[in-house]
Amino acid sequence: MVSSEASLHYVRQDSIETTKNKKTLKVVDKQTGQELTLELHNNTIRAVDLAKLGVTLYDPGFLNTASCISRITYIDGDKGILRYRGYPIEELAEKSTFMEVSFLLLYGELPTSRELEHFSHRVLRHTFLKQSLVDIIKATPKDAHPMGLLVSMLAAEGTLYPDANPAINGDDVYSSPRAREKQILRLLGTMPTLAAFIYRHKMGRPFNYPAYGGSRSYTENFMYMLDSMEDPSYRPNATLVKALDTLFVLHADHELNCSTAAVRHLTSSGVDVFTAFSGAAGALYGPLHGGANEAVLRMLEKIGSVDKVPAFIEAVKNRKARLMGFGHRVYKSYDPRARIVRKLAYQVFEICGRDPLIEIATKLEEHALKDNYFIERKLYPNVDFYSGLIYKAMGFPTDFFTILFAIGRTPGWLAHWLEYLDDPDKKIARPRQNYLGSDERSYIPITQRNSSVKYSTDYVSPAEKRRVNGFAVAKM
Ligand code: CMC
pLDDT tens digit sequence for 224-267: 999 999 888 999 999 999 999 999 999 999 999 999 999 999 99
pLDDT attached to residue 1: 37
Count of positions (residues) in the chain: 476
Which of 97-106, 156-165, 448-457 shows the lowest per-residue confidence on average (mean pLDDT)?
448-457
- 26 forms bridges with which residues in the sheet? 37
pLDDT attached to residue 473: 57
- Which atom of ligand 1 approaches the CA of 405 most closely? 52
The residue whose CA has the least distance to atom 2 of ligand 1 is 322
What is the separation of C-alpha 233 from the centre of its chain, rounded to a whole number of angstroms? 33
371 a catalytic residue: no
| pLDDT > 90: percent of the chain | 81
pTM: 0.92
- 108 forms bridges with which residues in the sheet? none
pLDDT attached to residue 4: 36
- What is the identity of the amino acid at 288? L
**Residue 464 predicted with pLDDT over 90:** no
pLDDT attached to residue 475: 56
pLDDT tens digit sequence for 181-209: 999 999 999 999 999 999 999 999 999 99
Interatomic CA distance for residues 351 and 447, integer angstroms: 73
201 a catalytic residue: no
- What is the identity of the amino acid at 188? L
Tell me which DSSP letter residue 154 carries: H
- Which atom of ligand 1 approaches the CA of 316 most closely? 2
The string of DSSP codes covering 30-69 is TTT--EEEEEEETTB--HHHHGGGT-----GGGTT---S-
pLDDT averaged over every residue in the chain? 92
pLDDT tens digit sequence for 416-454: 999 999 999 999 999 999 999 999 999 999 999 988 888
The residue whose CA has the least distance to atom 3 of ligand 1 is 322
Cα of 375 from ligand 1 centre, angstroms = 13
- Spatial contact of 414 and 188, defined as CB atoms under 8 Å apart: yes
Determine the residue of 312, 377, 409 to mutate for testing ligand 1's pocket, defined as the one with the most ligand atoms within 8 A of the Cβ atom: 377
Cα of 379 from ligand 1 centre, angstroms = 8
Interatomic CA distance for residues 157 and 185, integer angstroms: 13
**462 Cβ partners below 8 Å, 6+ apart?**
none
- Spatial contact of 407 and 284, defined as CB atoms under 8 Å apart: no
Tell me which DSSP letter residue 75 carries: E
With cut-offs at 50, 70 and 90, classify the pLDDT of residue 3. Answer: very low
Interatomic CA distance for residues 292 and 288, integer angstroms: 6
The helix (run of H) or strand (run of E) holding residue 25 is strand 22-28
- Which atom of ligand 1 approaches the CA of 382 most closely? 48
- Residue 158 Cβ inside 6 Å of ligand 1? The answer reads no
- Residue 332 Cβ inside 6 Å of ligand 1? The answer reads no
- Residue 375 Cβ inside 6 Å of ligand 1? The answer reads no
**299 Cβ partners below 8 Å, 6+ apart?**
321, 323, 324, 325
Cα of 144 from ligand 1 centre, angstroms = 28
Q: Which residue among 328, 335, 355, 416 is the active-site one?
A: 328
Determine the residue of 312, 326, 335, 383 to mutate for testing ligand 1's pocket, defined as the one with the most ligand atoms within 8 A of the Cβ atom: 326
The residue whose CA has the least distance to atom 36 of ligand 1 is 327
pLDDT attached to residue 16: 37
**Residue 169 predicted with pLDDT over 60:** yes
pLDDT tens digit sequence for 329-376: 999 999 999 999 999 999 999 999 988 899 999 999 999 999 999 999
pLDDT attached to residue 42: 87
Q: Give the three-class secondary structure for 171.
A: coil
pLDDT tens digit sequence for 276-316: 999 999 999 999 999 999 999 999 999 999 999 999 999 99
Show contacts of 172-176: CB within 8 Å, 24+ apart: 173/272, 174/273, 174/421
Which of 40-49, 88-97, 413-422, 460-469 shows the lowest per-residue confidence on average (mean pLDDT)?
460-469
Cα of 276 from ligand 1 centre, angstroms = 26
Determine the residue of 328, 371, 380, 386 to mutate for testing ligand 1's pocket, defined as the one with the most ligand atoms within 8 A of the Cβ atom: 328
**Residue 214 predicted with pLDDT over 80:** no
**Residue 143 predicted with pLDDT over 60:** yes
**Residue 212 predicted with pLDDT over 90:** no
Most confident of 95-99, 343-347, 349-353, 391-395: 95-99
**271 Cβ partners below 8 Å, 6+ apart?**
166, 167
Interatomic CA distance for residues 375 and 379, integer angstroms: 6
